Amino acid sequence: MTDLAKRGLFVTIEGGDGAGKSTQAALLEEWMVAEGRTVLRTREPGGTDFGLEVREIVLHSRGHITDRAEALLYAADRAQHIATKVRPAIERGEVVIQDRYIDSSVAYQGAGRVLDGSEIRRLSEWATEGLAPDLTILVDLDEDLARDRLNIAQKRFDRLEAEKDDFHRRVRESFLSIARKEPERFLVVDGALPPLEISALIRARLAPLLSSPGR
């Protein structure tokens, strides 16, 4: 467990495309700010200038990207993002709310691309010098329902969103498997619930962390 008396709070939000992560990140930021916390809300890929370039490559490139090259690009983005933006914010005592982190690479590039998930995790842990979240919120949603949401919300899919149903099924199963193995780190919420109900569950789980000594 992270020593919250000496540093800020690192919260990651995970889940498949269309699950509602961005909505929950925004609601959580709003609540934290209202509580008087200094908040950094960010995402991967794309949380830095370098990350925006990586995001454009991995999500919108028209050329073929091999699975291992894709995994390495995500790790490179993560190394830059954590070193230059996230870790400094945590050290200043801020609350970092981050849309996607290492678990996404394990799920998408590991299970989705059928690479070795343990190797993917080791790569990102090396890239981030072992920085682990204090809490990971998994917004879980049936992949078919998630696809329906995406169809309504946007006109075109990025490279990962456009993958076939079995890809997204493997991704979801991987997220749930990771959460089962680390219940102390995870809060799993049903993405089909009303957004405000999900937000209330997240606040209830976070309250003990925020009231820890030094917070």
Indicate the annotated binding residues: 15-22
End-to-end CA distance of the chain: 15
Indicate the annotated binding residues for ATP: 15-22
pTM over 0.95: no
In order along its 215 residues, the chain shows pLDDT tens digits of 445 445 799 999 999 999 999 999 999 999 999 999 999 999 999 999 999 999 999 998 878 999 999 999 999 999 999 999 999 999 999 999 999 999 999 999 999 999 999 999 999 999 999 999 999 999 999 999 988 888 877 767 888 888 889 999 999 999 999 999 999 999 999 999 999 999 999 999 999 998 876 65
Secondary structure (3-state) at 99: strand
- Please, where are the H alpha helices in the chain? 21-34, 49-60, 67-81, 87-91, 102-105, 117-127, 143-153, 165-181, 195-210
d(CA 200, CA 27): 10
Q: What pLDDT score was predicted for residue 82?
A: 98
Write down the architecture of domain 9-205 according to CATH. 3-Layer(aba) Sandwich (3.40)
Every domain of the chain and the residues it spans = 9-205
